[in-house]
């Protein structure tokens, strides 16, 4: 058959494959479902606690370009705060705060929780704490302590013993009291019956930090200033506690950093204020003493005006001097970060210098340094993106240094001009009497001190407000929730996924097995590989006994579906004889155990029931079995007459059977050369004799693939019927054997498909099976529903 002649594949063909392989489908599906459900039920539950924080923009605050403010302006800056929350510093402080080096082994698996909920034992208190829940509060971990697994066993409901992983006792404790061992201190809370066990591990600090980081998920909320903090754990209360601790530690770190930054400039101002206050007190005391001694209270109006002018110059001079010193501090920080932290220098730049250009460059530098910190956690130092940021930082620093250098130079010029102006007024005072000159000097010192002290106090107050404002840009939107139900395993989702996976894999496996299976199982498959007419199918039946005659279904069960199948085959066979006389029919198969002998015997009975004289010749001289079916003796038989002489109708070893019109010639004794006997002229003589006496002669031969007996006899008979056992005969072998017969130009009458399983074909006879079973039970005649068997396929052009 040409490739293009293959019939179209329909949906029913796929359904037939699934139906045929339903055992594999059900097995694979069941294994997947049972595996997934079992694993899910045996898993320890995982809970999730989520808290949400918001970091507000710092518009209008005294330090408008500090790192936190810059983070909140874009998603990229908010991501930097996410990296801080994920940092080792935060994780380490949380571990130390909660004692997470001690990890409690969960006691309840998912199946225990489901059972408890179903039984109603936990409904009122789930997941609230109860006396049956064991809690371990770590108190202290000894440096260099032994890490590993520890087990506790309750002696009674109040006392317990602790053993290490080598089952050595290391401590005895009581519930509610601190137990100190050589390696750690802890406190157990809860109540349990005697013999109850609990387990925990002591982890090294790095391992505990890594475990916490793995169980935290920090993510920014897009297009907002919100950050979600999600913590996973096996205990709902502990999970909530950890989520709260992460927020607390993060807040402490940020507040501490900002307070430290603001304090640097405040300390500088306070030191200046203290010195000025001391000088002012001393100057006021000297002025008071001088006035008492010289009995002078006020200066003349002209001298007093000069004093006011000099004091104003000197106050401005001191302000510019402080301004220059602060600029020099920032310049030093820009040149050497080791002497003064860069972030604190940036604070000073914003807090004390009122240069708009410097403020903008400070903002840019703060943004770049924060961006670099975030990128450093993800990239190596040699990464192009990081190198680009480093170049931008270097350029902005150079610009700030250049601007600061110019600012300091201009401030020094202003200082010189003010000193020159003060000297002019001081020169006018040199001509005053000594007492008035001294009073002038004392008044000058006091006025300058008072003005400078007021300026510094005002500046310190402004910075104090700025420092306090740093604590107001962070707040908790949603506190950590207490998880009521575990998030993992999601039993329903796992079952749905297992259901989908099981269906896909099981069906896929079925089609894969079908692909690997090259046997012929259905009439449709038979039709695709050969154009020989299809005579019918004999469906599978169970036979517990192997008694003589039991395989003659036409006689033993004349109203069974098997008998109906043979009647259909008989009808189709006779249809092929229209217009031709074919009496001698050879029946063979490609291999052993395909049921050709069973087919031969029952087909012979079916033909005999038409009142036709039928002879069955057992030409399988190597392994004969027909005599067993008909309960006849082995000898004399075919081999005996072929070896004797002469051959005539009178000495043929014909055996009468219990079936009317049906005779049998058994195989006889096993000859040494079966092929030679079957191909001899004596065989031709034998066939010509029986042709005259019988209407139909059915010749049972050995399998054609392994023996040449059938090929030799095929040239001497009127036609050949081929028997193929469903699921046993390989397509390639069947095609090869059929091609051998075709080369001999023998007449292939058709193919019978034997032992077809009900699931292998859509032509199943379930209705007739139901009819015969019911009739056999009740003995009542019901409306007959004929067995359904595929009609014979008309011969096609090769």
CATH code given to domain 523-542+550-778: 3.40.50.300
Between CA 393 and CA 400, with CA 394 as vertex, the angle to 5 degrees is 85
Q: What is the pTM of this model?
A: 0.57
**137 and 147 in contact (C-beta within 8 Å)?**
no
**668 and 640 in contact (C-beta within 8 Å)?**
yes
Tokens of 330: 């920032």
In sequence order, the β-bridge partners of residue 751 are 534, 722
**Could you give the residue range(s) of every CATH 3.40.50.300 domain in the chain?**
523-542+550-778
Closest C-alpha to 51, from 254, 252, 253, 250 = 250
Tokens of 669: 């004794």
Q: Which of 388-397, 604-613, 707-716 has the lowest mean pLDDT?
A: 388-397
Which is more confidently placed, 141 or 509? 509
Q: Convert 377-386 to b/e letters by CB count within 10 Å (16 or more is b).
A: eeeeeeeeeb
Report the pLDDT value the prediction gives residue 508, as an integer from 0 to 100.
Answer: 93
In sequence order, the β-bridge partners of residue 171 are 162
Which is more confidently placed, 43 or 59? 43
Which is more confidently placed, 60 or 779? 779
Distance CA 665, CA 321 (A): 136
Report the pLDDT value the prediction gives residue 578, as an integer from 0 to 100.
Answer: 73
558-606 residue pLDDT tens: 888 888 999 999 999 988 877 677 789 999 998 888 889 999 999 999 9
Report the pLDDT value the prediction gives residue 773, as an integer from 0 to 100.
Answer: 47
Q: Which of 309-318, 542-551, 706-715 has the lowest mean pLDDT?
A: 542-551
Distance CA 399, CA 422 (A): 35
Written as one string, the DSSP assignment of 461-526 is: HHHHHHHHHGGGSEEEEEPPP---S--BS-HHHHHHHHHHHHHHHHHHHHHHHHHH--B--SHHHH
What strand order describes the sheet that includes 135-141? 135-141, 184-189, 178-180
Tokens of 175: 């519930």
**Secondary-structure breakdown of the chain: helix, strand, coil percentages, each rounded to the nearest 5:** 55, 15, 30
Distance CA 604, CA 588 (A): 14
251-297 residue pLDDT tens: 887 777 666 555 656 666 677 777 777 777 777 677 666 665 665 54
Closest C-alpha to 526, from 339, 255, 730, 691 = 730
Report the pLDDT value the prediction gives residue 133, as an integer from 0 to 100.
Answer: 66
Distance CA 509, CA 18 (A): 10
Question: Strand 226-233 and strand 216-220: pairing?
Answer: antiparallel
Distance CA 271, CA 344 (A): 17
Cβ neighbours around 566 below 10 Å, total = 25
Report the pLDDT value the prediction gives residue 600, as an integer from 0 to 100.
Answer: 92
Report the pLDDT value the prediction gives residue 434, as an integer from 0 to 100.
Answer: 57
Distance CA 129, CA 485 (A): 14
What mean pLDDT is predicted for residues 177-189? 83
Distance CA 753, CA 722 (A): 9
Which pLDDT band, with edges at 50, 70 and 90, does 636 fall under?
confident
**192 and 180 in contact (C-beta within 8 Å)?**
no
Report the pLDDT value the prediction gives residue 774, as an integer from 0 to 100.
Answer: 44
What mean pLDDT is predicted for residues 181-201? 82
């Amino acid at each position: 058959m040409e490739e293009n002649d293959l019939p179209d594949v329909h949906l029913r063909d796929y359904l037939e494959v699934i139906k045929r392989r339903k055992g594999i489908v059900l097995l694979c599906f069941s294994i997947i479902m049972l595996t997934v459900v079992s694993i899910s039920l045996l898993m320890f539950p995982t809970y999730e606690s989520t808290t949400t924080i918001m970091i507000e923009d710092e518009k209008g605050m005294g330090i408008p370009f500090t790192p936190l403010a810059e983070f909140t302006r874009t998603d990229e800056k908010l991501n930097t705060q996410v990296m801080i929350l994920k940092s080792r510093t935060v994780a380490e402080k949380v571990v130390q705060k909660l004692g997470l080096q001690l990890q409690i082994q969960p006691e309840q698996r998912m199946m225990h929780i489901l059972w408890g909920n179903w039984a109603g034992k936990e409904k009122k208190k789930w997941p609230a704490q109860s006396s049956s829940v064991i809690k371990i509060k770590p108190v202290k971990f000894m440096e260099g302590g032994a890490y590993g697994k520890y087990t506790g066993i309750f002696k009674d409901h109040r006392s317990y013993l602790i053993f290490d992983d080598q089952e050595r006792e290391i401590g005895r404790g009581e519930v509610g009291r601190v137990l100190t061992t050589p390696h750690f201190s802890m406190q157990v809370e809860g109540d349990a019956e005697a013999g109850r066990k609990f387990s925990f591990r002591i982890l090294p600090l790095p391992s505990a930090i890594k475990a916490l980081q793995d169980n935290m998920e920090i993510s920014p909320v897009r297009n907002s200033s919100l950050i979600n903090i999600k913590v996973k754990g096996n205990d709902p209360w502990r999970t909530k506690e950890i989520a709260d601790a992460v927020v607390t530690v993060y807040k402490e770190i940020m507040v501490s950093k900002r307070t430290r930054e603001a304090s640097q400039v405040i300390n500088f101002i306070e030191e200046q204020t203290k010195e000025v206050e001391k000088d002012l007190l001393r100057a006021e005391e000297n002025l008071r003493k001088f006035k008492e001694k010289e009995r002078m209270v006020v200066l003349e109006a002209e001298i007093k005006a000069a004093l006011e002018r000099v004091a104003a110059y000197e106050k401005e001079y001191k302000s510019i001097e402080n301004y220059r010193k602060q600029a020099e501090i920032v310049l030093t920080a820009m040149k050497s970060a080791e002497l003064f932290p860069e972030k604190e220098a940036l604070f000073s730049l914003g807090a004390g210098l009122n240069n708009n250009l410097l403020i903008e460059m400070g903002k840019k530098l703060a943004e770049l340094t924060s961006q670099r910190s975030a990128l450093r956690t993800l990239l190596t130092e040699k990464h192009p993106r990081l190198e680009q940021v480093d170049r931008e930082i270097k350029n902005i620093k150079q610009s700030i240094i250049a601007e600061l250098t110019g600012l300091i130079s201009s401030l020094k010029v202003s200082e010189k001009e003010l000193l020159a102006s003060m000297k002019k007024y001081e020169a006018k005072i040199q001509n005053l009497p000594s007492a008035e000159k001294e009073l002038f000097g004392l008044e000058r010192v006091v006025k300058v001190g008072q003005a400078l002290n007021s300026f510094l106090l005002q500046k310190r107050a402004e910075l104090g407000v700025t420092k306090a404002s740093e604590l107001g840009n962070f707040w908790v939107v949603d506190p950590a929730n207490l998880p009521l139900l575990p998030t993992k395993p999601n039993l329903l989702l796992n079952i749905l996924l297992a259901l989908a996976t099981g269906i896909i894999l099981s069906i896929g496996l079925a089609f894969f097995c079908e692909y690997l299976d090259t046997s012929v199982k259905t009439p449709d498959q038979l039709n695709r590989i050969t154009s020989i007419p299809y005579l019918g199918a004999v469906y599978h039946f169970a036979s517990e006994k192997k008694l003589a005659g039991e395989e003659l279904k036409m006689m033993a069960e004349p109203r069974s579906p098997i008998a109906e199948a043979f009647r259909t085959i008989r009808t189709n066979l006779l249809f092929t004889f229209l217009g031709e006389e074919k009496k001698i029919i050879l029946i063979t198969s490609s291999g052993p155990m395909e049921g050709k002998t069973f087919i031969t015997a029952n087909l012979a009975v079916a033909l005999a029931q038409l009142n036709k004289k039928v002879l069955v010749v057992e030409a399988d001289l190597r392994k004969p079995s027909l005599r067993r079916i008909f309960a006849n003796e082995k000898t004399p038989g075919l081999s005996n007459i072929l070896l004797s002489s002469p051959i005539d109708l009178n000495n043929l070893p014909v055996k009468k059977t219990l079936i009317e019109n049906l005779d049998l010639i058994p195989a006889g004794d096993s000859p040494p050369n079966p092929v030679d006997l079957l191909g001899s002229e004596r065989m031709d003589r034998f066939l010509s004799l029986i042709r005259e006496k019988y209407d139909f002669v059915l010749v049972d031969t050995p399998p054609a693939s392994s023996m040449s007996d059938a090929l030799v006899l095929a040239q001497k008979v009127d036609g050949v019927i081929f028997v193929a056992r469903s699921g046993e005969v390989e397509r390639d072998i069947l095609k090869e054997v059929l091609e051998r017969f075709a080369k001999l130009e023998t007449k292939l009458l058709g193919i019978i498909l034997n032992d077809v399983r009900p699931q292998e074909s859509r032509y199943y006879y379930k209705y007739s099976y139901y009819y015969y079973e019911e009739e056999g039970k009740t003995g009542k005649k019901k409306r007959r529903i004929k067995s359904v068997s595929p009609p014979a396929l008309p011969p096609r052009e090769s």
